[in-house]
Structure 1
Amino acid sequence: MTLEEGGRAEVRNLGGEDWDFDEGWGLSGTGTWQLINGASGETIGGAPAVQISITNVTGQIQRPPRAIDEWTTSPHTPIGQYTWEFGMERTKEGLQPYYLAGDPDAPNLYHLKRT
């Protein structure tokens, strides 16, 4: 994921949030980003978030099924656009964006690392 000054965003093979993650797809594309107030369930404690809206999808992948992906049985249909909300958490490595994936009642938290 790349976020540029001026609000341009680009993602590469980034999986979906919440239940979408379980479907095993990832997409690449460009769009916009903005800071928003996080809502309950989208970020930890409703903290501020970065919203990324991809409106120009340039590619899509399907993750091979794993034993823990019992719901993933067939490739996902093409996606024309998608929006994520990444929370921000202060860690010992500094400010790190994260997103929640899987069952919204018991989500997995995935931090993104700067490269």
Structure 2
Amino acid sequence: MAGGDRRRGWAAALGGPAAALAALTACAGPAQYYEGTGVHDTTAADLAGTWQNSTGTNVLLRPDGTALFARLDGQDFDFGDGWRLSGAGTWQLTDRQGGQVVRLALTARTGVERRSPAPTATASPPPPPAAYVWSLHVGRDRQGGVGLFFFTGDPDAGDTYVLTRAVPGP
């Protein structure tokens, strides 16, 4: 086989896989290749306290590394299953190359609710997990305040579930 024929043979052999790879990566959304917030200066003491969102989720991160939470939805594709977990667990602040992440682990489930309205699915969703781990990205708002978030649903959508520090009552 001549040099030109050999090159055409390699090009033909690699063309199919290269085209498939290009098609797969073309639909990759922001969450799928998310590199982080770039925040590296938050301490565990900055995060200790109560966090909430607009749907009634409440997360208490205690200074000793334990956590209590109520009505916390699943992240990524698990969000579509519609369950909301309550219970106790642990949390730990980690620092990755792309930014800090809080690893929140449910170790003792005390309750399960279904999000309303229920997600529309063609099949029955799987049962809610007895144990679960969330990865909450640490971010900052424009004023420098700390916030926590994770991605929900299809990674192509880039939808986020945001937790903000609870405002103390009167």
TM-score scaled by length of structure 2: 0.57
Higher relative contact order, structure no. (Cα contacts within 8 Å, ≥ 6 residues apart): 1
Q: Can you give the 5+ residue segments of structure 1 that lack an aligned partner in the other structure?
A: 40-45
2:68 pairs, out of 10, 15, 35, with 10
Change (3 A) 1:61 1:49: same
Deviations 1:47-96 (A, max 9, x none): 21000001100000111345xx4337546414210000100111035111
TM-score scaled by length of structure 1: 0.81
Identity of aligned residues (%): 38
Report the count of equivalent residues. 107
Distance, in Å, in 2 between the alignment partners of 1:58 and 1:79 is 12
Q: Which moved more, 1:76-85 or 1:52-61?
A: 76-85
Distance, in Å, in 2 between the alignment partners of 1:3 and 1:19 is 25
2:85 equivalent to 1:23 = no
1:32 pairs, out of 90, 102, 107, with 90
Change (3 A) 1:70 1:38: farther
Q: Can you give the 5+ residue segments of structure 2 that lack an aligned partner in the other structure?
A: 1-58
Root mean square deviation, CA, Å: 2.1
Change (3 A) 1:76 1:54: same
2:169 equivalent to 1:111 = no
Q: CA deviation at 1:106?
A: 2.6
